[in-house]
Amino acid sequence: MKKLLVLFFAAIMLSACQTGQKPESKESGEQDLLSQADVTVFYFHGKQRCVTCLTVQEVTQQAMIERFAKNKDVQFVEIDFSIPENEPLAEKYEIVFSSLIVATPESYVDITEQAFDLAMSKPEELKDLIEKEVKTLLN
pLDDT of residue 20: 43
Report yes or no on 30 lying in a domain: no
Residue 29 pLDDT > 90: no
Determine the Cα–Cα distance for residues 86 and 20; give it in Å rounded to an integer: 11
In 69-106, which residue ranges form alpha helices assigned H by DSSP? Answer: 87-92
Please indicate, yes or no, if residue 29 is contained in any of the structural domains: no
- Indicate whether 32 belongs to any domain: no
| Residue at 25 is within a domain | no
On whether residue 60 sits in a domain, the answer given is: yes
Residue 2 pLDDT level (bands cut at 50, 70, 90)? low
pLDDT of 139: 87
Q: Indicate whether 108 belongs to any domain.
A: yes
CA distance 112 to 36: 23
- Are 75 and 36 in contact by the 8 Å Cβ rule? The answer is yes
With a cut of 60, say whether residue 8 has pLDDT above it.
no
Average the pLDDT over 69-94 and give the result.
96
Give the total number of structural domains in the chain. Answer: 1
Residue 27 lies in a domain: no
**pLDDT confidence of residue 80:** 97
pTM for the model = 0.75
CATH number assigned to the domain comprising residue 122:
3.40.30.10
Let me know if residue 26 belongs to a domain: no
Going by DSSP bridges, is the β-strand pair 39-45/74-80 parallel, antiparallel, or unpaired?
A: parallel
| Tens-place pLDDT, residues 86-112 | 999 999 999 999 999 999 999 999 999
Stretch 48-69: mean pLDDT, rounded?
A: 97
pLDDT band for 35, please (50, 70, 90 cuts).
low
Residue 78 belongs to domain spanning: 2-20+37-138
